[in-house]
Structure 1
């Protein structure tokens, strides 16, 4: 395991307490407790306190005897417990089927003071304490899933949230449905001169580059996906595929599995529909391009950045750190259109 992955594994995280979710009274119980941390999630992200420069924190509300009644009708999700045993709950103010939620979120944002702002996970995630990032990631994934799975895939009848927000149950046939995670590989391809391959998707700004990535297809081993995606997108054959680490990427439901791979031949043949530019970079070339602003890197939250910096040997700090957003990024119910932002592809 690489050092970044090891550091992430050691960071404080929530105990998900899966066995407790079957208690149908769990949410009511923990929301009534004064020490329960309650986070508010909306389409706009989460409410963040930015009063201390460089140290944003999620705005935490707390449970209490009257809270279960106050939030009745809203989607609540039990995220787990911290190392002190305190419960963490996400409250989705614009959950599936709740059209009034958008107004609630915007009204709350307008009423907030200047240092309380709604920020998305990609905007603020890297600077959050590990346990808050864990909570944000989990809430983002589950709340997004609830918003797009309000009906049963078997019969089309309405579904309801059960098991503390981790399952949806059909009200007609009783079938239960669980959150999905779509596996995708993301890889640092290196040639025999120790150069790194970076590429640009048609949707990205001219100077933006990242490593290649793609979804795992049915029946594939992960190593096969790495080889297939690299061959399809840039015409390069690879070998010595090695696991690097993983990252949940809830936009809306990807699990990124990082690899390194060696190019057999560095000659590039681009798939113009997927890749509009690709180049091999030496460490000196990459450092110079980053320092001058000629090349924009993936965001610090992403595993793509860790793959690049793992090859480079140390952190890369651009003159200006920009969020890694597609210029036309929108929320969509098509999972394979809302891909990892560091994937140089138009999606599937």
Structure 2
């Protein structure tokens, strides 16, 4: 499978530096140190459409900085903004217009930085005692001085699955999707269940379809605000649908020919039965994987 958006950051995350306050201070004081130039959580782009970086001069010792790692000898940081933003991706179209211009490695660096910046901005107080927390381990942890609790950046696992039956795929249209846009079904993994169990449960809940033979395909970090999309494939035992309209606007089965036409067609073509997910989403790559697998 081709490289997915938000992957391939190419940075040495240098965990040994995060855990060493003296070495971390040296990195922060280094004349080579750079901080991501951003407007809150939105990136600033240069004329070459790359991320902009600036020196740490003027930030002050009290600035909350996340240590992203080291690239070509330069320590890289991101500054925690005053507020976070946990809105889903479809509600952040201005940010998408900017990041759509980024080359792959910059997009991956931004995605990781954004998730960390957002988590810190929204977790300044201890979930155990409610007192203010302090940034620790280079921004990969927050500590509570009052009750000594330790808090870590979270990543929420989400299964996103191709459901197949007799050479056709089950796809759904989310409540906030544009007309004709369909994608793979998806849902959060709940406490106390495996990835495979989450796939079975979510497909049954959203579409009323029983599936088996769940297998893993690929994964993608998704920084809105911080999910890990776990791409899977499963076989359905039948095609009868009972769509949960609180989760989906619609769901239907699509033949291999219809999927191929959508993936290779023009979105302005009204003859297409559906529009595929955008290339930045893992669902797009799952559909490509399925089409190519059928030619093996």
Which category of TM-score, normalised to the shorter sequence, fits these structures? 0.7 to 0.9
Go from structure 1 to structure 2 and tell me whether the alpha carbon gap of 1:201 and 1:77 turns closer, same or farther (over 3 Å shift): same
Measured after TM superposition, the shift of residue 296 of structure 1 is 3.3
RMSD value over aligned CA atoms? 2.7
Gaps of 5+ in 2: 85-92
The structure 2 residue matched to 1:313, chosen from 278, 288, 292, is: 292
TM-score, normalising length from structure 1? 0.72
Measured after TM superposition, the shift of residue 16 of structure 1 is 1.0
Task: Answer yes or no: is 1:81 the counterpart of 2:70.
Answer: yes
Task: Answer yes or no: is 1:297 the counterpart of 2:276.
Answer: yes
1:102-130 deviations in Å (ceiling 9; x for gaps): xxxxxxxxxxxxxxxx963x445565334
Residue of structure 2 equivalent to 1:24: 21
Gaps of 5+ in 1: 97-117, 315-348
Go from structure 1 to structure 2 and tell me whether the alpha carbon gap of 1:244 and 1:94 turns closer, same or farther (over 3 Å shift): same
Measured after TM superposition, the shift of residue 46 of structure 1 is 0.6
- Does the aligned pair in 1 maintain the 2:41–2:81 contact within 8 Å? no
1:112-160 deviations in Å (ceiling 9; x for gaps): xxxxxx963x445565334322321211111111111111111111111
- Does the aligned pair in 2 maintain the 1:41–1:140 contact within 8 Å? no
Matches within 5 A, 1:1-348: 3-4=1-2, 11=8, 13-49=10-46, 51-52=47-48, 56-63=49-56, 67=57, 69-82=58-71, 84-95=72-83, 120=95, 122-125=96-99, 128-192=102-166, 194-289=167-262, 290-291=265-266, 292=269, 295-313=274-292
Go from structure 1 to structure 2 and tell me whether the alpha carbon gap of 1:34 and 1:283 turns closer, same or farther (over 3 Å shift): farther
1:243-298 deviations in Å (ceiling 9; x for gaps): 01111112222111110111221221111211221122223323444421653332
Measured after TM superposition, the shift of residue 164 of structure 1 is 1.2
Q: Equivalent residue of 1:4, what SS?
A: coil
- Does the aligned pair in 2 maintain the 1:75–1:95 contact within 8 Å? no
TM-score, normalising length from structure 2? 0.84
